[in-house]
């Protein structure tokens, strides 16, 4: 309200002065016109600094909001960096052993979850929203610790490793892509330093035929949802990870692009361990096994063709 109120008050005051001046000059005849003009010029010269003063409150409120947000971030507890063991290469397997986890201490998000993902294996996690798929990924990345049970990588507890060294071996394509204000190139190369040719080759593979110097806008507003997904897939590929996590990699693209992305995923995941959170049945056809989650529990672990043959399997597909 600061700007419209200050503009209104300025116009109102000038209007009142003009009316009073007209009365003193033409009716009362006690004021010379040239003196009034000088006075009016003086009043008008004051309006700009007065408006700036009125707008100062706007900047104060903006700064206050920014300060509160920065204070919230600075007051966050320090993240657990894990243990002192530097993670080298992924050699054998990831094992969830009797894992129980709750975000708020009341309702269990995961209940007695146990499974093994071997090196080079392609695994799909499927289930309704809230079944626990994303929670498994959050635990695997070390964002949270399970309340019961443990997560083991190559025979050692995940939190015995330095988590930074562990995460360097992982690329994740999130379901909701986030892009920074800047160019397409800047949004991709912050994860790895590659040549322009390699960057263009990857963009071509993911079906994103745009100049690398195009501005994407804040949070990628200049791109469609499908294009933003392909940008995050390009990021994940260029990091050259040992473990690749894809969260709904084709949820916002058309059928033709979905087929291209699925084919590309097959190529890049050939010598990698792949974990896919999936709703579309096409995404799980060529994985080694499917983990079906329901209400935080593992309902079954099966081969893709067994899942696809089940009656009513489409209930997991969006």
- pLDDT for 145 equals 93
In this structure, the strands spanning 243-247 and 93-101 are unpaired
The per-residue pLDDT for range 125-166, each reduced to its tens digit, is: 998 888 999 999 999 999 999 999 999 999 999 999 999 999
User: What are the percentages of helix, strand and coil residues in the chain, rounded to 5?
Assistant: 45, 20, 35
CATH superfamily of 93-316: P-loop containing nucleotide triphosphate hydrolases (3.40.50.300)
CA distance 288 to 260: 20
- CA-wise closest residue to 198 among 152, 240, 244, 151: 240
The per-residue pLDDT for range 188-211, each reduced to its tens digit, is: 887 777 888 888 888 888 878 888
* Residue 184: both structure tokens together: 């397409």
- pLDDT for 66 equals 93
The string over 41-56, giving b where at least 16 C-beta atoms fall within 10 Å of a residue's C-beta and e elsewhere, is: eeeeeebeeebeebee
Which pLDDT band holds residue 267 (cuts at 50, 70, 90)? confident
Which pLDDT band holds residue 252 (cuts at 50, 70, 90)? low
The per-residue pLDDT for range 36-87, each reduced to its tens digit, is: 888 888 888 887 787 777 778 788 888 999 999 999 999 988 888 889 999 9
What's the predicted TM-score (pTM) here?
A: 0.73
């Amino acid at each position: 309200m600061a700007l419209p109120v200050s503009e209104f008050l300025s116009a109102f005051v000038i209007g009142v002065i003009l009316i009073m001046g007209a009365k003193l000059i033409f009716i009362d005849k006690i004021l010379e016109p040239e003196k009034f003009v000088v006075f009016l010029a003086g009043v008008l010269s004051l309006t700009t600094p007065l408006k700036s003063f009125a707008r100062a409150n706007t900047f104060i409120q903006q700064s206050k909001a920014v300060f509160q947000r920065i204070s919230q971030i600075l007051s966050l507890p320090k993240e657990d960096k894990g243990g002192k063991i530097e993670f080298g290469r992924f050699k054998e397997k990831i094992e969830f052993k009797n894992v129980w986890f709750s975000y708020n201490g009341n309702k269990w998000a995961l209940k007695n979850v146990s499974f093994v993902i071997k090196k080079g294996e392609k695994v799909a996690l499927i289930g309704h929203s809230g079944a626990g798929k994303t929670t498994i990924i959050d635990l695997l990345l070390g964002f949270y610790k399970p309340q019961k049970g443990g997560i083991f990588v190559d025979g050692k507890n995940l939190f015995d490793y330095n988590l930074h060294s562990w995460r360097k071996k992982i690329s994740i394509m999130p379901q909701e892509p986030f892009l920074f204000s800047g160019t397409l190139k800047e949004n991709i190369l912050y994860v790895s330093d590659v040549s322009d040719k390699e960057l263009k080759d990857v963009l071509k593979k993911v079906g994103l035929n745009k100049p690398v110097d195009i501005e994407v806008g804040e949070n990628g507003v200049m791109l469609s949802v499908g294009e933003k997904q392909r940008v995050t897939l390009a990021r994940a590929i260029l990091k050259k990870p040992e473990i690749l996590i894809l969260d709904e990699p084709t949820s916002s693209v058309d059928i033709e692009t979905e087929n291209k992305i699925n084919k590309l995923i097959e190529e890049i995941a050939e010598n990698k361990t792949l974990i896919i959170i999936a709703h579309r049945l096409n995404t799980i056809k060529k994985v080694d096994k499917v983990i079906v989650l329901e209400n935080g529990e593992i309902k079954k672990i099966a081969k893709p063709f067994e899942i696809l043959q089940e009656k009513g399997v489409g209930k997991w597909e969006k």
